[in-house]
Structure 1
Amino acid sequence: MKTTNYQKLRDAELAKMTSDERALYDEAYAKAGLTMRMAQLFYDARTAAGLTQAELARRMHTTQPTIAALEGGGRLPTLDMLERLAQATGHSLEIRLSA
């Protein structure tokens, strides 16, 4: 696989970081990934249930802008919100760890 200029620049910047800076970077990168997976989860559950953002918000006892923020990756849901999403879309919440 060919290395792009972006990858070369990114690798060079990462190599300049101290171990503490790299740890902070890795943590932020992982959190961003989690936020986007949660955004996709909300969108997929809502659309599979045939709901608009407004209808999902009503069923979850929240607001449409809150749903939009969750689906846009601008906000990470709480466990309570995940449970309400499951109930509102006819699912059950299951949390598991995987390797």
Structure 2
Amino acid sequence: MNKKSLLVSEAAKEWFKDPEFVAAYDALEEEFALAEALIKARAQASMTQEDVARAMGTTQAAIARLESGRSMPSTRTLQRFADATGTKLRISFQKPKSSSRAS
């Protein structure tokens, strides 16, 4: 059987032509951004999920859930994650990219 392979980048080009896909993708932007920030902080600290879990007094599965982007952790949990990875927690507010409000 001959399977045709498709690069994710090529598939994404097609997906982003669909307005429903774009709307759903945009709706998850914050979750993706938080997940990316958590993973980046852990990677820069050269820690595994197990290392962070030990430092936070929790389980590796809990860290995996945090990094999945499927839940919104409390600021207390984010602060504990920052402490465990030797980073500083910063929270900011930004206007949406397509804001129609005047500055």
- Measured against the shorter chain, the TM-score band is 0.5 to 0.7
Aligned to 1:50: 46
C-alpha displacement of 1:56: 0.1
C-alpha displacement of 1:31: 4.9
For the residues of structure 2 that align with 1:29 and 1:94, how far apart are their CA atoms? Answer: 24
**Runs of 4+ displaced beyond 6 Å:** none
Residue in structure 2 matching 1:68, options 61, 64, 68: 64
Aligned to 1:88: 84
Residue in structure 2 matching 1:78, options 74, 77, 80: 74
C-alpha displacement of 1:65: 0.5
The one-letter amino acid of 2:51's match is: E
C-alpha displacement of 1:98: 2.3
The one-letter amino acid of 1:86's match is: A
Could you list the per-position Cα deviations for residues 19-59 of structure 1 after superposition, in whole angstroms to 9, with x for gaps in the alignment? xxxxxxx6x75552111111111110111001110110111
- Matched residue of 1:58: which SS? helix
Q: 5+ unaligned residues in a row in structure 1: which ranges? A: 14-25
Answer 1 or 2: which has greater helix percent: 1
Residues 74 and 33 from structure 1, CA distance in 2 versus in 1: closer, same or farther, beyond 3 angstroms?
same
The answer as to whether partners of 1:43 and 1:71 remain within 8 angstroms in 2 is yes
**Identical-residue share of aligned pairs (%):** 36
For the residues of structure 2 that align with 1:74 and 1:31, how far apart are their CA atoms? Answer: 12
**Number of residue equivalences:** 82
Q: 5+ unaligned residues in a row in structure 2: which ranges? A: 1-12, 96-103
TM-score, reference length from structure 2:
0.64
Residues 5 and 38 from structure 1, CA distance in 2 versus in 1: closer, same or farther, beyond 3 angstroms?
closer
